[in-house]
Amino acid sequence: MDSAEYERKIAARFASFDQDGNGYIDREDFSGAAKALLAEFGTTARCDKGQALYIGAEAFWQGMAGIADVDGDQRVTREEFVTGAVKRLRDSPQRFAEIARPFLKAAMAVADEDGRGATPKGAERVLKVLGADAETAAAAAAALDTDKDGRISEDEVLTAFAAYFTTPAPDA
Ligand SMILES: [Ca+2]
Ligand SMILES: [Ca+2]
Ligand SMILES: [Ca+2]
């Protein structure tokens, strides 16, 4: 995959971060995602899981802004995302996954309904809340459980997240 092709596919990832679809990524996209996840699983913002999710969402936003908000206006435009983030993502997808770790970990905790870890079904609900269509969410959630133990571990989520940016999927 050449560089232009890679950048074009990374640009497609922009939409998954721009949760409210207003044309730029900002703090509200992350806090909005946290709020929607808590609503989906009937979890309050005040409980430990709810607090961890909001803290993770803020850390994810700060990490994203640190990488991509080149002009420091607290908004990441599509251009900033492509030019500012693309190189960092390509050089170090694991590091990008680290930025996302607290949010992903907290999201999986919210989706964990019996205290034994989130199931693929729970992960599917998370992905749908975050904007994936039903078919994509089901396929991606099933693929997350790489060791097929019926639960989605933190490592499984982080590995998949890094891979999502390292090896962009073909266009639908
Ligand atoms: Ca937005
Ligand atoms: Ca900016
Ligand atoms: Ca597993």
Residue-wise over 132-158: b if at least 16 C-beta within 10 A, else e?
A: beeeebbebbeebbeeeeebbbeebbb
How many C-beta neighbours within 10 Å does residue 79 have?
Answer: 13
Average per-residue pLDDT for the chain: 89
Average of per-residue pLDDT across 10-37: 92
Q: Does residue 10 sit within a domain?
A: yes
Residue 54: give its domain's CATH number.
1.10.238.10
Q: Does residue 171 sit within a domain?
A: no
Q: Does residue 143 sit within a domain?
A: yes
Q: What is the pLDDT of residues 57-102, one digit of tens each?
A: 999 999 999 989 999 999 999 989 887 776 677 777 778 888 999 9
- For residue 148, pLDDT over 90 is answered with yes
pLDDT at 35: 98
The closest ligand to the CA of 119 turns out to be 3
- For residue 161, pLDDT over 60 is answered with yes
Q: State the residue range of the domain holding 124.
A: 3-166
Q: Does residue 172 sit within a domain?
A: no
Q: Measured in angstroms, how far is the CA atom of residue 98 from the centroid of ligand 2? A: 22
Average of per-residue pLDDT across 112-129: 96
Average of per-residue pLDDT across 146-167: 88
Q: Measured in angstroms, how far is the CA atom of residue 123 from the centroid of ligand 1? A: 23
The closest ligand to the CA of 141 turns out to be 3
**Helix/strand/coil for 80:** helix
Query: pTM (2 decimals)?
Result: 0.89
Is residue 115 packed enough to be buried (19+ CB in 10 Å), middle (13-18) or exposed (0-12)? exposed
Q: Measured in angstroms, how far is the CA atom of residue 123 from the centroid of ligand 3? A: 11
Computed from CA positions of residues 98, 41, 37, 86, in that sequence, does the dihedral angle turn out positive or negative? positive
Q: Mean pLDDT highest for which of 9-13, 28-32, 80-84, 95-99?
A: 28-32
Q: Does residue 39 sit within a domain?
A: yes
**Helix/strand/coil for 81:** helix
| Total tally of structural domains belonging to the chain | 1
pLDDT at 38: 98
Distances (CA, A) of 63 to 28, 83, 142, 146: 14, 16, 28, 27
Q: Does residue 37 sit within a domain?
A: yes
Q: Measured in angstroms, how far is the CA atom of residue 122 from the centroid of ligand 3? A: 13
Q: Measured in angstroms, how far is the CA atom of residue 114 from the centroid of ligand 3? A: 15
pLDDT at 170: 46
Q: Measured in angstroms, how far is the CA atom of residue 45 from the centroid of ligand 1? A: 21
